[in-house]
Amino acid sequence: MEQKNSNYGLGMGVFGAVFFIFGFATTFIVTMTAPVKAIFGLPEWAAQLLSSAFFITYPILSIPSGKLVTKIGYKWTVILGLLLMGLGSLVFWPAAQMASGLNEAGDVWSSAKIVSFGMFLVATFILAAGVVFLQVAANPYVTALGPESSASSRLNLTQALNSIATMIAPWIISVAIFRGLSESLMSAKEYGIAAAERVPMPFITMAIVVIAVAVILFTIKLPVIVSEKKESVKKSVWQYPHVLLGAFAIFAYVGAEVGNAGLIVNYLKNSGGIDPEVASTYAAIYWGGAMIGRFFGAIMFSDMKSKAKKYGLVVLVLGLALLSGAFVTADGYTFDSWNFNAGLIFMGVAFVNFIIMQIGSGKAARTLAVFAIVAASLALITTLTTGQVALWTIISIGLFNSIMFPNIFSLAVRDLDGGEMASASGIINSLVVGGAVIPPIMGGIADTVGYTWAFVVPAICYLYIFFYAVKGHAIRTE
């Protein structure tokens, strides 16, 4: 593979912004399951269908998107994805208006609610189609933009930018939708309609931003990545066991990450008696853990030689953990309302995450194995405990999710050429459908036997990822 334009910084900058955009959109939809549950009076499994509508696009569109990248290039695929995101965001406007205007609140499956909820699902699908185009193009582009030895570092860095967005999205939902609403002071009908009335503005804003970015990207000349060989791409990729096993690891990872996130607000509300507005801020910390862990990963998997510089950056990241944890859990808009107790706990857990990362010795597979075991253990502890212990164990999983996607992806596409990589990216990203399958399963368990037992499912997912890290990634044909 060769890079025809040496403007590495421009390529990383633009695709860093792309990672930020689709990270925000993904997390915003996942966290929207809690407001949607309130708006329509749904059981948990049905509310999780919003996540299913988002992630079902991956098996449908990922492989065609990989072919599209090969045909029209990374830049045009990203522009098309941004425009689809804008269209999907705008469809939420009439969907939410219809929901807020409903006259019937008692019958969950009235015709008006079916149509309105269906529009939510259609809007989600269109928006997600755009995200798939972005993600299928972005991951191999960043992987191919520099040396293979530092591919994990680049992916961790861009995924960290993605995670800044994923931390912001639940906080915005807390402020824009839940703030000022009280289930104890309002009827279910009043609460649902008030939540629905607040839905359009964040999506209209998202539409304006992504369309503006598409227009800007149209005017920029990006570094071009081309394949050194293109023959037998489909056949060769399907013959690599490490690619296929890696795709299933992505299925397990995304299913577990999204399942955890989708249940956090209602889990804390039902099991911990925490108000949804406050619970949404803790969901933001869960996603913020991925941000912090990926910054650590970008530092530790990089080719940086100076230990002093590395550890100086680590200190800055720990400071970011303190400030971000205190900010998103604040009960107001002024500095003196920041929750530094939560910030300090989050920083402490982040420090433990960094210490555990050292066991990986900067190696992608070893670090992935360690993190998978820790994440599985935290999920099981969440199942077996309650109160503050369970609150912080479920939130801390975010830190150990952090390096999973970039490390799984870099292990799965290792030794592939440019043409194979585009095809492999389509296959791997199609298994992001785990985000459509696992959350309803967890929601069904929460509805039948309780929220705490739902977290056994992600524990099983993390154990498969452990297998891939230890054995699966090394199984490959000559």
Tokens at 334, concatenated: 């002024």
- Centroid of chain to Cα 273: 26
State how far the Cα of 219 lies from the Cα of 186, in Å rounded to an integer. Answer: 50
Q: How many residues does the chain have?
A: 478
pLDDT at 28 over 50: yes
Domains of the chain with CATH codes: 2-223+232-474 (1.20.1250.20)
Residue among 420, 437, 460 at smallest CA distance from 69: 420
- What span, in angstroms and rounded, lies between the C-alpha atoms of 288 and 328? 9
Question: pLDDT higher for 24 or 228?
Answer: 24
Spatial CA neighbour of 399 closest among 292, 282, 315, 299: 292
For residue 317, CA distances in Å to 66, 113, 153, 321, 422 come to 34, 45, 15, 6, 33
Among the ranges given (27-36, 84-93, 101-110, 281-290), the one the predictor scored with the smallest mean pLDDT: 101-110
Mean pLDDT across 83-100: 84
pLDDT at 181 over 70: no
425-448: average pLDDT: 88
Give the whole-angstrom CA distance, residue 329 versus residue 95: 30
Query: Rounded mean pLDDT of the chain?
Result: 81
Single pTM value for the model: 0.74
Asked whether 32 and 40 are in contact (CB, 8 A), the reply is no
pLDDT band with cut points at 50, 70 and 90 for residue 26? confident
Give the pLDDT band of residue 6 (cuts 50, 70, 90): very low
Tens of pLDDT, residues 361-410 = 768 889 899 999 999 999 999 999 888 888 899 999 999 998 898 889 88
Beta-ladder partners of 226: 2
Lowest mean pLDDT among 124-128, 155-159, 194-198, 299-303: 155-159
